[in-house]
Amino acid sequence: MNCEHCQELISVFLDNELDGSSSAEVREHLALCEPCSKVCEDLAMIIDFCQLDADEAVVPPNPQALWCRINNVIESEVQAEIIKENKEKAARAEVAAQAANTGWLPRRWNFSFMQVASAVLFVALVSSVLTIIGIRNYSGANNDIAGINAQPTLFEKILGKVGLMETPQQKRERILKEREAAIEYWNKRVEARRAQWNANLRDAFDRNLNEINQAVSEYSQILQENPQDELSGEMLDSALDDKMELLREFSEL
Amino acid sequence: MNVKLDKFLRSSATIKTTILLSVVFFFASFAAPQIHAQKRFSKAYSASKNVRLQLLNRTGTVTVEGWDKDQIQISAYLEAPAANIVPVSLSGTILINVVKDNQGRYEVGNVNFLVRVPYTSTVDIETRMGNLNVSNVRGTLVRAHISSEGDITLTNIGAPNVSAENVIGDIFYDGDVQNQGSYRFISTRGNINLRIPFTAGFKLVATAPSTRNISLGAFSNGSMKFVGDGRRVIGQSGDGSATLTVTNQRGSISFIQR
């Protein structure tokens, strides 16, 4: 028997399906031929392994236990689903009940297109007005009388009439009042001290205060006649500053 | 008879003269201290070249002169009732505050200062009433402020920052106008005269709203414009790097070529 013929018969040999003479020939060749013997060993190992794996795979599970496990899993999942659904239903019912009590939420969103458009327009208008007022107030924050003589725009006039913005006259009056309050304060301090001064100092103070007062009244008169006279506004501002400074400096004596 | 009478009359005249002179001397001995009771205060400090003098006076004249010494010399003439003067030298600044040093004292006589400072000093002087004079100073700042009335005279000044302000009184400035400098002269009633170099470069805002009396002299040029019915002049001379602000509420403004 040659190797080729032997290897063809190995599989049948391992299955014990060969007749006695052929099986003896194969056994004799395997005893003498190492390569064929090796092939036979490998094939035998494969067959053994397959038989072992097949044995495990076909081990029948305990069908009752398996069904119990499946049943438990299904029941737990179904119960969780039912609880979740119940909770959601309860929450929806609560919200619906609240809405029914107040009667506000459902109607809130029932706007027509015109209503929404009007609301958007209104919000845009209000925010624009507020922005403009803010910018105007910020840019005109300096308390100079000179700075308020600029011709008001139509928009400023409208805002002034509505009461959302100071007119130049209102602003001037406000600044003048603030200055007058400060001047009055320093004047009181001077009055408390001037009796103690010598005659020369008193006379000099009166002379200088009178000079500044004349300038103040001169510019005030011009501004009454022509409120837009920027230069007079500036000079009035300067004269009032001078007056305040004179009073403050003499109040130290 | 006549001789006797004559002798009698002569002796009588002598007695009268003697009595009269005695009375005069008697009163004069009381009056004299009141008229001439002028005390003198003097103090000197060694100073660096860029020392700052800061002086606030109540009433009286203040004169500050630059000199070629690294020393500040303060002399003051105090009229009765004499004021207290306590100068303080504080990290490169000499401080004299007569108002603070006499707070609560209502009767204080004039104090007339003469202060000599190094040429390059900074000078900041102020008084409630009286004249201020500064000359030969070229530090970083010259400031002269009178709260009420008094003349301000600044001569031979070479500082980049100059400020002079009073209510009633004249202001005279004779000095440089430096590049990037700032010059401010403000009065309510008086004459402001500025003598500056013809080549000076400055931007000008000069305002005399009551009198409309602004005389530019040699500095009148095409860029100088009268605005606000002639109450203000705005313009530029030379490169216009310095700023010159002059305001005289009820007086005149004149520019003179130096």
Identify all chain A residues contacting B249, using CB atoms and an 8 Å cutoff. 215, 235, 238-239
Judge whether A200 is closer than 8 Å to chain B, CB to CB. Answer: yes
Q: Which residue of A has its CA nearest to B126?
A: A249
**CA-to-CA distance for B172 and B36, rounded, in angstroms?**
32
* Spatial distance between the Cα atoms of A212 and A250, rounded to a whole number of angstroms: 14
B19-78, pLDDT tens digit by residue?
Answer: 666 665 555 444 444 444 678 999 999 988 889 999 999 999 999 999 999 999 999 999
Query: Searching chain B, which residue's CA lies closest to the CA of residue A240?
Result: B188
B7: pLDDT strictly greater than 70 = no
State yes or no: pLDDT of A86 exceeds 60: yes
Closest of A249, A196, A191, A187 to residue B148, by C-alpha: A249
Q: Which residues in chain A touch residue B247, judged by CB atoms under 8 angstroms apart?
A: 238
**Does B167 contact A208 at a Cβ distance shorter than 8 Å?**
yes
Judged against a pLDDT cut of 60, whether residue A143 lies above it is answered with no
Whole-number pLDDT of residue B91: 85
Using an 8 Å Cβ cutoff, are A33 and A42 in contact? no
User: Cα distance from B103 to chain A (closest Cα, Å)?
Assistant: 7
CA distance A215 to A8: 135
How confident is the model over B91-138, as pLDDT tens digits?
Answer: 889 999 999 999 888 788 899 999 999 999 999 999 999 999 999 999
Q: Which residues of B touch A243 (CB under 8 A)?
A: none
> Distance between alpha carbon B145 and the CA centroid of its chain, in Å?
9
A216 touches chain B (CB under 8 A): no
DSSP B83-111: PP---EEETTEEEEEHHHHTTT------E
Cβ neighbours of A205 in B, within 8 Å: 148
> Largest Cα–Cα distance in chain A?
161
Determine the straight-line distance between the first and last CA of chain A, rounded to whole angstroms.
Answer: 144
- Spatial CB neighbours of B199, under 8 Å, sequence gap ≥ 6: B238
Give the one of B129, B168, B209 whose C-beta lies nearest to A231's C-beta.
Answer: B209
What mean pLDDT is predicted for residues A222-228? 87
Q: Quick check: A235 and B249 CB within 8 A? A: yes
CA-wise closest residue to A248 among B20, B147, B192: B147
Rounded to two decimals, the ipTM of the complex is 0.80
A189 touches chain B (CB under 8 A): no
CA angle A246, A249, A253 (to 5 degrees): 125
Q: What is the mean pLDDT of chain A?
A: 79
CA dist list (Å): A146 to A150, A168, A172, A222: 9, 10, 9, 13
Distance, in Å, from the CA atom of B250 to the CA atom of A210, rounded to the nearest integer, reads 13
B80 touching chain A per CB within 8 A: no
Find, among B109, B130, B118, B120, the residue nearest to B63 by Cα.
B130
CA B22 to chain centre: 43
> Hey, what's the torsion of the CAs at B128, B133, B139, B142, to 10 degrees?
40
Cβ within 8 Å, pair B129-A201: yes
Q: Look at A40-49, A132-141, B249-258 and tell me which has the smallest mean pLDDT.
A: A132-141
Closest approach of B209 to chain A, Cα-based (Å): 8
Q: Are A43 and A10 in contact (CB under 8 A)?
A: yes
> Among A110, A100, A208, A70, which Cα is nearest to B128's?
A208
What is the pLDDT at residue A13? 85
Structure confidence at residue B224 (pLDDT):
93
Model's pTM, two decimal places?
Answer: 0.64
Mean pLDDT of chain B: 88
Q: Are B190 and B148 in contact (CB under 8 A)?
A: no
Residue showing tokens 């009420």: B148
Give pLDDT, residue A141.
47
Mutate: best of A193, A208, A222, partner B, most B CBs <10 A: A208
Instruction: Give the three-class secondary structure for B35.
Output: helix
pLDDT digits (tens, 9 = 90+) for B214-253: 999 999 988 999 999 999 999 999 999 999 999 999 999 9
A242 CB within 8 Å of a chain B CB: yes
Residue A81 tokens read as 């689903």
pLDDT above 80: residue B17:
no
Q: What does the pLDDT look like over A53-85, one tens digit per residue?
A: 555 555 555 767 777 777 788 888 877 888 888
pLDDT bracket for residue A148 (50, 70, 90)? very low
Non-local (6+) Cβ contacts of B4 within 8 A are none
Nearest to A85 by CA among A77, A73, A97, A74: A77
In chain B, whose CA is at the least distance from the CA of A205? B148
* B209 half-sphere exposure, CB direction, 13 A CA radius: 21
Q: CA-to-CA distance for B243 and B252, rounded, in angstroms?
A: 19
What is the average per-residue pLDDT within A113-137? 84
Tell me what the mean pLDDT of segment A208-224 comes to. 91
| B129 contacts chain A (CB < 8 A) | yes
pLDDT above 60 for A142 = no
Of B149, B210, B249, the CB nearest to A204: B149
Instruction: Decide if A235 and B207 are in contact by the 8 Å CB cutoff.
Output: yes
Check if B58 contacts A (Cβ < 8 Å): yes
pLDDT of residue A229: 87
The minimal CB distance from B58 to the residues A214, A239, A253 is found for: A253
Q: What's the maximum distance between 2 C-alpha atoms anywhere in chain B?
A: 98
- Mean pLDDT across B147-167: 96
The pLDDT score that the predictor gives to residue B36 is 47
- Share of residues in chain A with pLDDT > 70 (%): 81
Residues B178, A153: Cα–Cα separation, whole Å:
42
CB contact under 8 A, A208 and B107: no
State whether B58 and A212 contact (CB < 8 Å). Answer: no
Higher-pLDDT residue of A247, B37? A247
3 state DSSP class of B212? coil
Question: Are B168 and A211 spatial neighbours (Cβ–Cβ below 8 Å)?
Answer: yes
Asked if the model's pLDDT at residue A103 lies above 70, the reply is: no
Give the closest residue to B62 by CA, choosing from B119, B142, B138, B140: B142
C-alpha distance from A116 to closest chain B C-alpha (Å): 54
Q: In percent, how much of chain B has pLDDT > 70?
A: 85
Interchain proximity A208–B149, CB inside 8 Å: yes
Cα–Cα distance for residue pair A171/A164, rounded to 1 Å:
13
pLDDT at A112: 82
Contacts of B228 in chain A (CB under 8 A): 229-231
Residue B27 has what pLDDT? 54
d(CA A139, CA A112) in angstroms, rounded, equals 41
